[in-house]
């Protein structure tokens, strides 16, 4: 970060200078640390649209140019040439693994792939209709009870302990996700295997059973690697900001990630992939044309959303949507699937991209618009779509939690507010609880 220029705030006839910091890609920010102490005023920025929470070296994105890079590598290149576990290593450690590190990483992921047998019984205490995201967040925070290796108090936790906790979580989340699916369909759990790599292992745990072996198809393994890579990080989005904010209280990694899982669950965030497919299914069931759906959205005054469209940062196009659409075409062709929802989605996209309502609001397809179609083709039910998003986003959450812990400027996050409530007032006699008698007069 470099600080050459400065910004001046003039307030009540006084001027205050603040440094302008410039990031490695030329992004600039006014560092207003100390504003309140010096000028007795704070800033207000609903949704933090104009507010940076930190410096970060994990991910760079340019919403206007549709650019997304993990530790400097374009996601298009990583999606084409890397496996998800290598990208996870890159995000967490800041560099691609060499041959020895790749081997060690793979052995660690295998060693930590099982969950404690006592945790297995937790699944039987959830009702059958429990949403897998509820199960996921509960199981993840429970890991801190079974693996308390990360103390919550020491800031100088050794890298070794953090790396083990990170690998443990990366591998166990995959097992927990597959087990929550098996629980939802009433089938016995299929345990991880050491002879299968990350994605193949997940597919096997999801779709094999004691009476049938799942055929692991390379096209499906590739599609899953691409989807997980594209979801792996996205700088300071809602759920990652939750991980950083909760993590700033120095909670352990598992508790901070459980908070991220809950944030991701929302239909405006990671829950949108399930909403997209439910929207398409509803259109099909009601024989609603894409044109009718767009009209309904446009006339709803914001009450109806075109799920999978729009983004807080991307105001041109979400580069991930293009890669996922390509992946969608490939996997449907490889599996010889003709999904009518894909035709509907493509018609919706084409109409919206030529409709001034959407263009004037910079609403383009985002990462969630086509991802559900790919998950459907693989055989993953829509209730599991956001779980798949969490599986992909986990290395990003871990990378940011770790980066924040190591940042000397990072401290307990505690935003300010502008108070808008009633002024000083006192309880009227009739407001005093009947259990108490008024004995002392309150001094104002």
Applying CB under 6 A, the residues found at the interface with ligand SDX are 234, 237-238, 268-270, 272, 297, 302, 305-313, 361, 363, 366-368
Neighbours of 74 (CB within 10 A): 14
Q: Quick one: how many helices (H) and strands (E) in the chain? A: 18, 6
Least distance from C-beta 337 to ligand SDX, angstroms?
24
CA gap 347, 429 in Å, rounded: 65
Q: Which is nearer to ligand SDX, 132 or 319 (CB)?
A: 319
Least distance from C-beta 232 to ligand SDX, angstroms?
9
CA gap 208, 185 in Å, rounded: 13
Least distance from C-beta 171 to ligand SDX, angstroms?
22
Q: Which helix (H) or strand (E) holds 15?
A: strand 14-22
Least distance from C-beta 348 to ligand SDX, angstroms?
11
Catalytic positions, written as ranges: 311, 368
Neighbours of 101 (CB within 10 A): 14
Residue from 107, 290, 122, 76 nearest 197 by CA: 107
- What Å distances lie between residue 416 and 41, 42, 44, 54, 413, CA to CA? 10, 8, 9, 16, 10
Q: Which helix (H) or strand (E) holds 21?
A: strand 14-22
Q: Which is nearer to ligand SDX, 86 or 235 (CB)?
A: 235
Q: Which is nearer to ligand SDX, 310 or 395 (CB)?
A: 310
Least distance from C-beta 266 to ligand SDX, angstroms?
8
The residues near 28 (Cβ < 8 Å, ≥ 6 apart) are 5, 20, 21, 22
Residue from 216, 233, 274 nearest 71 by CA: 233
Residues 263 and 239: beta-carbon distance below 8 Å: yes
Residue from 330, 86, 326 nearest 219 by CA: 330
Least distance from C-beta 84 to ligand SDX, angstroms?
15
**C-alpha 144, offset from chain centre:** 20
User: E-strand spans in 46-106?
Assistant: 59-62, 67-70, 73-74
Q: Which is nearer to ligand SDX, 39 or 305 (CB)?
A: 305
Least distance from C-beta 306 to ligand SDX, angstroms?
4
Least distance from C-beta 60 to ligand SDX, angstroms?
13
Residue from 400, 407, 387 nearest 183 by CA: 387
Residues 126 and 111: beta-carbon distance below 8 Å: no
Q: Which is nearer to ligand SDX, 192 or 310 (CB)?
A: 310
- What Å distances lie between residue 400 and 10, 162, 364, 393, 403, CA to CA? 35, 13, 27, 11, 5
CA gap 91, 376 in Å, rounded: 28
- Which residue's beta carbon is nearest to the bound ligand SDX? 310
């Amino acid at each position: 970060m470099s600080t050459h220029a400065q910004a001046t705030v003039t307030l009540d006839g006084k001027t205050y200078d603040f440094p302008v910091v410039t990031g490695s890609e030329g992004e600039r920010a006014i560092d207003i640390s100390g504003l309140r102490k010096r000028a007795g005023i704070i800033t207000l920025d609903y949704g933090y649209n104009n507010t940076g929470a930190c410096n970060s070296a994990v991910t760079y994105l340019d919403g206007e140019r549709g650019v997304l890079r993990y530790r400097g590598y374009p996601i298009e290149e990583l999606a084409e040439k890397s496996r998800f576990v290598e990208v996870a290593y890159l995000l967490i450690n800041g560099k691609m693994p060499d041959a020895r590190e790749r081997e060690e990483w793979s052995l660690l992921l295998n060693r930590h792939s099982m969950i404690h047998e006592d945790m297995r019984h937790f699944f039987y205490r959830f009702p059958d209709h429990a949403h897998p995201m509820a199960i996921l967040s509960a199981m993840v925070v429970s890991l801190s009870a079974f693996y308390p290796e990360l103390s919550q108090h020491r800031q100088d936790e050794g890298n070794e302990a953090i790396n083990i906790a990170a690998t443990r979580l990366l591998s166990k989340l995959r097992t927990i996700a597959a087990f929550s699916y098996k629980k939802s369909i009433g089938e016995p759990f299929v345990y991880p295997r050491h002879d299968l790599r990350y994605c193949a292992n997940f597919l096997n745990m999801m779709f094999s059973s004691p009476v049938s072996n799942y055929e692991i198809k390379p096209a499906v393994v590739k599609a899953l690697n691409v989807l997980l890579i594209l979801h792996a990080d996205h700088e300071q989005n809602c759920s990652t900001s939750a991980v950083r904010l909760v993590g700033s209280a120095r909670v352990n990694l598992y508790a901070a990630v459980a908070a991220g899982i809950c944030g991701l669950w929302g239909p405006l965030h990671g829950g949108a992939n399930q909403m997209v497919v439910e929207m398409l299914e509803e259109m099909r069931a009601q024989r609603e044309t894409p044109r009718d759906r767009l009209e309904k959205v446009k006339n709803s005054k914001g009450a109806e959303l075109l799920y999978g469209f729009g983004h807080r940062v991307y105001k041109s196009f979400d580069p991930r949507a293009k890669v996922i659409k390509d992946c969608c075409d490939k996997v449907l062709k490889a599996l010889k699937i003709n999904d009518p929802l894909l035709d509907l989605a493509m018609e919706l996209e084409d109409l919206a991209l030529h409709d001034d309502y959407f263009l004037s609001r910079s609403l383009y397809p985002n990462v969630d618009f086509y991802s559900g179609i790919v998950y459907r083709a693989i055989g993953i039910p829509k209730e599991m779509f956001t779980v798949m998003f969490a599986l992909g986003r986990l290395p990003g959450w871990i990378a940011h939690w770790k980066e924040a812990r190591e940042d000397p400027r990072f401290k307990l996050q505690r935003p300010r507010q502008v108070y808008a409530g009633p002024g000083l007032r006192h309880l009227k006699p009739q407001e005093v609880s009947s259990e108490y008698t008024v004995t002392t007069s309150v001094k104002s």
